[in-house]
Amino acid sequence: MDPAPPPPQNSADVTALIASVDRLVRTMSINQAPALWDVEDIALWMGMSSRTVMARVVTRVGFPEPFVPTGSTEGTNTQK
């Protein structure tokens, strides 16, 4: 997995980032990919069972952390 790019440093970086996200959203929309993926979506995309995705994919170091789009902490485990 590629390392995360550095955070934007100036307005040109932010503009490029926005354009990149816009291209990604358009591509996903054209290919009818879901905006937010659950285990079943990942399994279907990767040609694996949901069980395998749960056991071997989402548990990998560096796999994106889940997030709550609304920013709410209700229903999440905030203790680590």
How far apart CA 79 and CA 47 sit, in angstroms, is 34
DSSP symbol at 55: I
End-to-end CA distance of the chain: 25
pLDDT tens digit string along 22-31?
777 777 667 6
pLDDT tens digit string along 10-44?
777 778 777 887 777 777 667 666 667 788 888 88
Q: Are the beta carbons of 43 and 50 closer than 8 angstroms?
A: yes
Q: How many residues can be counted in the chain?
A: 80
pTM over 0.75, yes/no: no
